[in-house]
Amino acid sequence: MMRRDIFQAIADPTRRAIITLIALQAMTPNAIAENFNTTRQSVSKHLRILTECDLLKQEQQGREIYYSLQLEKMKEIDIWLQQFRKLWETRFHQLENVLATIKKQKK
């Protein structure tokens, strides 16, 4: 499974809404999808991304799969730090590009 970072998970408004929703109670994908004005497929994709970030866990109950929140993953400070890291990583790559462009113009 591909590793994703938490920043990516919460960068999307639908995913943030899913987190808030699931924080209240474990829910099936259908029940989650009912809360959104979007396709079942798109909700599945969001659930997959959140699961890959270890923010959600799946539990089989009878024939249904329930998604719930991994509370221990939601430690706020660590999430902020993760985001801050991501912010600087993005800045780093953007600056690399800017520098490369300036160097080319100078030649």
Instruction: Enumerate binding residues for other proteins (CB under 8 A).
Output: 10, 13, 16-17, 19-20, 23-24, 71, 74, 76-77, 80-81, 83-100, 102-103
Closest distance to other proteins from the beta carbon of 67 (Å): 15
**Closest CB to other proteins among residues 39, 87:** 87
Q: How far is the CB of 100 from other proteins (least distance, A)?
A: 7
Which ranges of the chain does DSSP label H, i.e. alpha helix? Answer: 6-10, 13-24, 29-33, 40-52, 76-106
Min separation Cβ 3 and other proteins, Å: 16
Q: Which residue has the tokens 């639908």?
A: 14
